[in-house]
Amino acid sequence: MGFREHIAPVRRIVGIVLAVLLIGGVAAAVVAGRDSGTGTATKTVRGVIGSEKAEFFADPDVVKALAAQGFTVRTETSGSWDMEQLPLKGYDFAFPSSKAPADEIRAKAKVTGAPQRPFYSPLVVVAHRGAAEVLAANGLAQLNSPAGGTLKMDAYLAAARADRTWQQLKGAEKHHELSGTLFITSTDPVASNSGALYLAAASYVAEGGKVAGDKAAVDRTAPLLRKLTQVQGAQQAGSDAPFRDFISGVGNPLVLVYESQVASQLLAKQDLGDLVLLYPDTTVNSDHTVVALSENGRALGELLATDPELRKLAVRHGFRPQGAAAEFTAATAAHKGRINQTLTGVRQAPVPTSEVLHEMARRARS
């Protein structure tokens, strides 16, 4: 064998050895990088959230902002009142849409410490323009612009008590889609926060500005709350589906939603067509409340409340950050015709205890 023929196998062996050493060196470098804290490992937290926050947590910019702070968040959706029925083991946080269901979850999980409320959203009614104009012509609403105004709750509840139909309202004959009993579509109050808060606001107005505090108060308003609920037939467990139906042009012409659902669409430059945003003159703010079930869950709640980038992204999804009206006002400046930025003329109804709310919902459905 010549010299060249002899050295070729040696070169191949040396090449293989060098390749193995190189791969080993790269692997060692990766491990060292992780050990030194220069990698991108994050804390994975698992939570159950109201459906109205699903798009927020799925937003790639939110995912990126959370990752930058060391968090990967995995979420499942549930009606806010249904959350307390879920097995809580394995969750780091629950994120219902208001304080009352959060209190139930906190009691079940024996959570201590102050609740965290990173952002909130008032309950509003969306209407198609024809329906809004008919309501205004009959004293049930006041339009401040072609796309926004106020729903007069006293007048609306009086119409509900009388079982008024659209056909009985002046001007409704011009709109073929306005027929049957006049009512607002809301979510199932037994399962969903927005449906329960709708009953709370209606009860407060019906009682002349008093919060229901006992069985006698529930008894007095139960027939009205039953009318508001049972006229709807089957109800959804979350607010997302009724809003999407409305935007698609199907379903009832009046739907109760969160302001955030409308604001997020406007800020995303979506065409909402003839949607008119009506703020009930008595409504309820839905304080989205984090129930921390682990230390990582509590850290996430603090982050959502304080991190400037996450607060900005919350506004982009239509939520009003706690204690920072200027952020929301600046972001929605181009939509003042629809959005009541300062909630002028809107009274906030106090919310009864969760026990009373549960009883209201039960009586409304029975």
**pLDDT tens, 332-341?**
999 999 999 9
State the pLDDT confidence band at 85, using cuts at 50, 70 and 90.
confident
Locate CATH 3.40.190.10 in the chain.
43-118+288-324, 122-285+342-365
Domain over 122-285+342-365 is classified CATH 3.40.640.10: no
Each residue's pLDDT tens digit, 115-173: 899 999 999 999 999 999 999 999 999 999 999 999 999 999 999 999 999 999 999 99
pTM: 0.83
- Average pLDDT over the chain reads 87
Nearest Cα to Cα of residue 296 among 90, 93, 103: 93
Q: In 36-98, which ranges are continuous DSSP H helix?
A: 54-58, 60-68
Residue with tokens 């968090």: 71
Greater confidence, 180 or 251? 180
Sequential DSSP letters for 321-352: ETT-HHHHHHHTGGGTTT--TT-TT-EEPPPP
Structure-block tokens of residue 83: 């959350």
280 CB-near residues (< 8 Å, 6+ apart): 123, 124, 125, 150, 151, 153, 201, 346
State the pLDDT confidence band at 97, using cuts at 50, 70 and 90.
confident
State the pLDDT confidence band at 28, using cuts at 50, 70 and 90.
very low
State the pLDDT confidence band at 29, using cuts at 50, 70 and 90.
very low
**Helices 354-365 and 99-109 meet at what angle, rounded to 10?**
110
- The whole-number average pLDDT for the span 168-192 is 94
CB 204 within 8 A of CB 172: no
Please report, rounded to a whole number, the percentage of residues in the chain having pLDDT higher than 70.
89
Greater confidence, 126 or 16? 126
- The whole-number average pLDDT for the span 97-113 is 88
Tell me the CATH number for domain 43-118+288-324: 3.40.190.10
